């Protein structure tokens, strides 16, 4: 297939590599061209704007930072929807607002273009190994057409419902991670203070009732002193903010999420760690 792609960050670069390895022709754009050099060397074709990326693509995929970026890249003056052909499909892998996903779908439908909001979970490891969990909302018929595309990028692919449903599902995912990361960091701090060997502790608790993806993948990074991003703190703050806004609109309170949001805000605003990985929460909790 001819695939357009916007966004070559921690996740996007590995996702495009997997598409290239599967034999697809990829047209790419990102704000900083130097970040795309390795992909260009691997066979990706550079374009100078989102609109140019979309001109000849059967599918356009994107994974950018913020909802404002999503809106600009899709519906902006030089966005992909200005040049995508009728019958093509836009897949947004960004974690963004459910309301925005619906707005984009309505805008695209007027041009006979299908959209899928398809946020992912699994971090840099999942993107690299093509084991991402992909949560999809939008047009069901379009989802059914993209089996090979999604299976090139992930392992668990589930259709969740109409436009916005993928984003709502990702909010559930982020709520689970938010409070779980507090537990992961506090448990390691406790183990250290008790004089235990943290690596041995993980061997005991990592396969029992306390097991989680964060415990298996991020706790070892904390122990090694590795706080580089698989997923940026500042992006996680964005996600939690969306979830809190949606929760308020639904009339529900999420005190655990609210506590995690405030801890991460402290990490970014007071400790200048917004560009570190989410496991850096350890520093906001360690006294």
If you ran DSSP here, which 8-state letter would residue 33 be given? Answer: G
- Cα end-to-end distance, the chain, whole Å: 53
74, burial (CB in 10 Å: exposed 0-12, middle 13-18, buried 19+): buried
Selecting among 17, 47, 102, 170, the annotated active-site residue is 170
Which residues are CB-contacts of 89 (< 8 A; sequence separation ≥ 6)?
58, 59, 60, 113, 114, 115, 116, 142, 145, 146
The answer to whether residue 170 is catalytic is yes
Residues 264 and 237 sit within 8 Å (Cβ to Cβ) = yes
Residues 274 and 237 sit within 8 Å (Cβ to Cβ) = yes
If you ran DSSP here, which 8-state letter would residue 85 be given? Answer: P
CA dist., res. 197 & res. 13, Å (int): 36
132-138 vs 114-117, strand pairing mode: antiparallel
Which residues are CB-contacts of 78 (< 8 A; sequence separation ≥ 6)?
49, 50, 51
If you ran DSSP here, which 8-state letter would residue 34 be given? Answer: G
Q: How many CB atoms lie within 10 A of CB 224?
A: 10
- Annotated catalytic residues are 170
């Amino acid at each position: 297939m001819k695939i357009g792609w916007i966004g070559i960050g921690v996740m996007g670069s590995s996702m495009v590599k997997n598409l290239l390895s599967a034999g697809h022709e990829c047209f790419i754009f990102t704000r900083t061209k130097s970040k795309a050099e390795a992909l260009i060397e691997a066979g990706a074709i550079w374009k100078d704007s989102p609109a140019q990326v979309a001109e000849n693509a059967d599918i356009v995929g994107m994974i950018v930072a913020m909802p404002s970026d999503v809106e600009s890249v899709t519906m902006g003056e030089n966005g992909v929807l200005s040049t995508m052909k009728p019958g093509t499909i836009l897949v947004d892998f960004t974690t963004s607002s459910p309301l925005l996903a619906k707005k984009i779908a309505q805008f695209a439908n007027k041009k006979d273009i299908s959209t899928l909001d398809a946020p992912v979970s699994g971090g840099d490891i999942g993107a690299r190994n093509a084991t991402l969990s992909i949560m999809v909302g939008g047009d069901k018929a379009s989802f059914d057409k993209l089996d090979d595309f999604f299976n090139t990028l992930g392992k668990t692919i589930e259709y969740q419902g109409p436009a916005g449903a993928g984003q709502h599902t990702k909010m559930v995912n982020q709520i689970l991670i938010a409070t779980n990361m507090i537990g992961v960091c506090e448990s390691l701090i406790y183990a250290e203070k008790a004089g235990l060997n943290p690596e041995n502790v993980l061997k005991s608790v990592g396969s029992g009732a306390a097991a989680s993806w964060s415990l298996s993948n991020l706790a070892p990074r904390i122990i090694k002193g590795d706080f580089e991003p698989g997923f940026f703190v500042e992006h996680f703050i964005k996600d939690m903010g969306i979830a809190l806004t949606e929760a308020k609109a639904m009339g529900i309170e999420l005190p655990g999420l609210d506590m995690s949001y405030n801890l991460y805000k402290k990490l970014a605003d007071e400790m200048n760690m917004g560009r570190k990985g989410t496991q850096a929460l350890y520093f906001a909790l360690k006294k």
